[in-house]
């Protein structure tokens, strides 16, 4: 339940993505063949502009001040949504002060589309983060099925159109030596931020190495020298939950209309105990979003679980005794402040 009127939302517009990243929840590696593939149980679904107007209706905008909308999916790329531009315009029309943030691999659409999108998001508060994990010879080892040169070209077009862009670099053993060169290129091309992340995702597999094949080629992915993930899964313990979603007054809207406290809880929606309370009452297509956010059951069951059996996501990301929070392995540079 939200007691304050100013809130933020994290939106997964669809479950569609052009990339086949080996550590993404939408993909899997066959245990027998090592082949990297998209899960065959994934049925295509996305929020349309009609769904979106119904969810974020006049009542919502009268009740809440929406400070920020973050289009960044658990398993999708927001640029794959066919109605993205209209959805962004819906927010800008209803509240011009809302900040729009987008996280993308940048591999979809044309230069012209990106240039126009840059113009749409040309206000200083809006921001698009491009996932570029290395240079031409290394980028696609993790961002499988994306083309480095197309991504760079699209990002450049967005910047030329007036958009503010960031370069997000997932750091592995095969690309960590390229960080200084990538940072210099980002500055040269007009990116305003360069962020490199020593991913902790190897912890989920209990190993610092991942082998896979894709379209007949074999690859090995290894964690970087800065990674904190080795052995992390067995170290996670419960102390005191400091809920980031509650603290930031933020919620997560999934591509089927389901509303969750955060993206981390939504990631484990199929296997954690909180499913018992997440029924149609929590779907913003079936029910009024304002009603969901102002009802005590939205956060009530989640808070109750912290004293008995908190979800793995709550312990991993919001426990004050746990060292796996994202800010432990994220390194960010403001390129406007760097000097040669």
* 197-201, 243-247, 273-277, 316-320: the lowest-pLDDT one: 273-277
- 264 or 220: which leads in pLDDT: 220
Give burial (CB, 10 Å; 0-12/13-18/19+) of 340: exposed
Q: Please identify which residue in the block is written with the tokens 């020298």.
A: 225
pLDDT of the residue at 244: 84
pLDDT of the residue at 20: 94
Q: What would the two tokens of residue 48 be? A: 């349309």
- 223 or 183: which leads in pLDDT: 183
Instruction: Give CA 70 to chain center in angstroms.
Output: 8
What percent of the chain stands above pLDDT 90? 57
Question: pLDDT band at 235, cuts 50/70/90?
Answer: very low
pLDDT at 59 over 70: yes
List 100's β-bridge partners, or say none.
69
Max avg pLDDT among 23-27, 206-210, 278-282: 23-27
Average pLDDT over residues 20-48: 86
Element holding 53 (H helix, E strand):
helix 49-55
pLDDT of the residue at 340: 38
Exposed e or buried b per residue across 130-141, where buried means at least 16 C-beta atoms within 10 angstroms of its C-beta: bbbbbeeebbbb
Alpha-carbon gap, residue 7 to 49, rounded angstroms: 21
pLDDT at 265 over 50: yes
Give burial (CB, 10 Å; 0-12/13-18/19+) of 227: buried
Alpha-carbon gap, residue 317 to 210, rounded angstroms: 23
The torsion of the CA quartet 76, 82, 85, 87, rounded to 10 degrees, works out to -80
Question: pLDDT band at 3, cuts 50/70/90?
Answer: low
Question: pLDDT band at 44, cuts 50/70/90?
Answer: confident
Mean per-residue pLDDT over the chain, rounded: 85
* 185-194, 209-218, 273-282, 285-294: the lowest-pLDDT one: 273-282
Three-class DSSP labels, 203-267? HHCCCCEEEEEECCEEEEEEECCCCCCCCHHHHCCCCCECCHHHHHCEEEECCCCEEECCHHHHH
Average pLDDT over residues 280-288: 86
At residue 155, φ and ψ (nearest 5 deg) are -65, -40
pLDDT of the residue at 233: 44
Question: pLDDT band at 93, cuts 50/70/90?
Answer: very high
Q: In a 3-state reduction of DSSP, which class is residue 7?
A: strand
Structural domains of the chain sorted by starting position, each given as residue range(s) with its CATH number in brackets? 6-237+244-295+325-334 (3.20.20.70)
Number of CB atoms found within 10 A of residue 16's CB? 21
pLDDT at 102 over 60: yes
Rounded (5°) CA angle 67-72-76? 150
Max avg pLDDT among 108-112, 197-201, 224-228, 290-294: 108-112
- Output the CA–CA distances (angstroms, integers) from residue 63 to 69, 247, 249, in the order listed: 16, 19, 14
Question: pLDDT band at 270, cuts 50/70/90?
Answer: low
């Amino acid at each position: 339940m939200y007691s304050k009127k100013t809130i933020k939302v994290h939106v997964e517009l669809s479950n569609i993505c052009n990339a086949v990243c080996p550590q993404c929840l939408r993909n899997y590696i066959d245990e027998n063949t090592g082949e990297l593939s998209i899960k065959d149980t994934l049925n295509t679904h996305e929020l349309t502009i009609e769904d979106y107007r119904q969810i974020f209706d006049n009542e919502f905008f009268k009740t809440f001040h929406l400070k920020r909308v973050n289009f960044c999916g658990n398993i999708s790329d927001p640029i794959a949504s066919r109605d993205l531009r209209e959805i962004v315009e819906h927010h800008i029309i209803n509240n011009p002060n809302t900040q729009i943030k987008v996280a993308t691999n940048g591999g979809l659409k044309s230069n012209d589309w990106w240039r126009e999108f840059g113009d749409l998001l040309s206000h200083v508060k809006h921001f698009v983060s491009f996932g570029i994990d290395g240079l031409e010879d290394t980028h696609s080892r993790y961002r499988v099925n994306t083309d480095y040169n197309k991504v760079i070209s699209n990002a450049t077009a967005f910047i030329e159109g007036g958009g503010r862009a960031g370069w997000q670099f997932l750091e592995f053993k095969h690309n960590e030596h390229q960080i200084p060169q990538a940072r210099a290129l980002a500055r040269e091309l007009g990116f305003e931020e360069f962020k490199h992340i020593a991913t902790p995702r190897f912890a989920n597999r209990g190993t610092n190495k991942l082998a896979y094949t894709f379209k007949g080629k074999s690859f090995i992915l290894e964690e970087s020298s800065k990674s904190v993930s080795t052995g992390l899964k067995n170290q996670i313990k419960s102390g005191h939950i400091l809920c980031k979603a509650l603290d930031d007054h933020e919620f997560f809207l999934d591509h089927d209309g389901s509303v969750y406290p955060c993206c981390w809880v939504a990631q484990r929606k199929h296997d954690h105990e909180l499913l018992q309370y997440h029924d149609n009452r929590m779907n913003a297509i079936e029910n009024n979003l304002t009603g969901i956010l102002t009802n005590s059951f939205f956060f009530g069951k989640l808070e109750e679980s912290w004293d008995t059996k908190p979800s793995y996501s709550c312990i991993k990301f919001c426990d004050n005794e746990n060292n796996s929070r994202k800010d432990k392995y994220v390194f960010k540079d403001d390129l406007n402040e760097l000097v040669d």
